[in-house]
Amino acid sequence: MPRRSQLDRTRSTRGRLEEAGRALFAEHGFGAVSAEQIVATAGVTRGALQYHYGDKRGLFVAVLERLEQDNTDELVAAIAGAPPSADPMVGLRAGLDAFLRICRRPEMVRIALSDAPAVLGWDAWRELEAKYGLGLVVLQLEAARGTGRLAPDAPVRMLAQLVLSAVTEAGLIVAHADDPAAAHEQALDALMLLLAGLLRG
């Protein structure tokens, strides 16, 4: 059989490390997972972890980026799959519902909502959230402006940043609620009321 290329080996090693890290971080939390646990679960050497990510924190950042990208892909699909409508609120509701559903998953709660702010620091965490979530909110608000539901001179990016902050807070509330399903419905209704206040009838 032909020997695997260096690129194939690199992809395989990184994939195993990120898969192991994602599972361990989700189950135990960043602080309770050691580098030794990660490499043992991935079946690679400590040197491989250091070579590809520098340390455990570097791997965590890569895992978090992958998780955020997966979530973004899911949100885009949810918005695209909403019933066709000229009303931008339909797409907004579908996206918000999907996001709150994601926030009920253990890996999202532990990795993105609980550990990420502490591991990355507040500023870096906010920057990451903006990187993956802000663009989606901007697109939806621009669509609302295009249909006349939002004033032509509305500061879309500023509004998007404020909306994203509210959405993130709603996700945290749902993630830590005693009854996540009930909190999900309440948060979705509250966010829709908030957005309805921004948009023209």
pLDDT by residue (tens digit) across 144-185?
Answer: 888 888 899 999 999 999 998 899 899 999 999 999 999 999
Q: Name 130's Cβ contacts closer than 8 Å, sequence gap at least 6.
A: 161, 164
**Is 94 domain-assigned?**
yes
Q: What is the pLDDT of residue 201?
A: 63
Q: Does position 1 have pLDDT exceeding 50, yes or no?
A: no
pLDDT by residue (tens digit) across 78-106?
Answer: 989 988 877 878 888 999 999 999 999 99
Core vs surface per residue 32-41: b (16+ CB within 10 A) or e: ebeeeebbeb
**Is 1 domain-assigned?**
no
Token pair 């590809």: residue: 52
Can you say how many angstroms the Cα of residue 25 is from the centroid of all Cα atoms in its chain? 15
**Is 28 domain-assigned?**
yes
**Is 129 domain-assigned?**
yes
Greatest mean pLDDT among 35-39, 128-132, 175-179? 35-39
pLDDT by residue (tens digit) across 104-116?
Answer: 999 999 999 899 9
**Is 64 domain-assigned?**
yes
| Mean pLDDT of the chain, nearest integer | 91
Residue 105 and residue 90: Cα distance in Å, rounded?
24
- The domain tally of the chain equals 1
Residue 148 and residue 66: Cα distance in Å, rounded?
36
pTM (2 d.p.)? 0.86
Instruction: Provide the percentage of residues in the chain whose pLDDT is more than 90.
Output: 67
Q: What is the pLDDT of residue 4?
A: 63
Find the CATH number of the domain harbouring 142: 1.10.357.10
- Would the CA dihedral through 103, 104, 105, 107 be positive or negative? positive
- Domain of residue 78: give its range: 6-198
Nearest C-alpha neighbor of 95 from the set 19, 7, 37, 160: 160
Neighbour count for residue 42 (Cβ, 10 Å): 22
Helix ranges restricted to H, the chain: 6-28, 35-42, 46-53, 56-80, 88-102, 106-107, 116-120, 122-129, 135-146, 156-175, 180-198
**Is 187 domain-assigned?**
yes
Residue 190 token pair: 């509250």
CB-CB contact of 156 with 173 (8 Å) = no
Token pair 């509004």: residue: 159
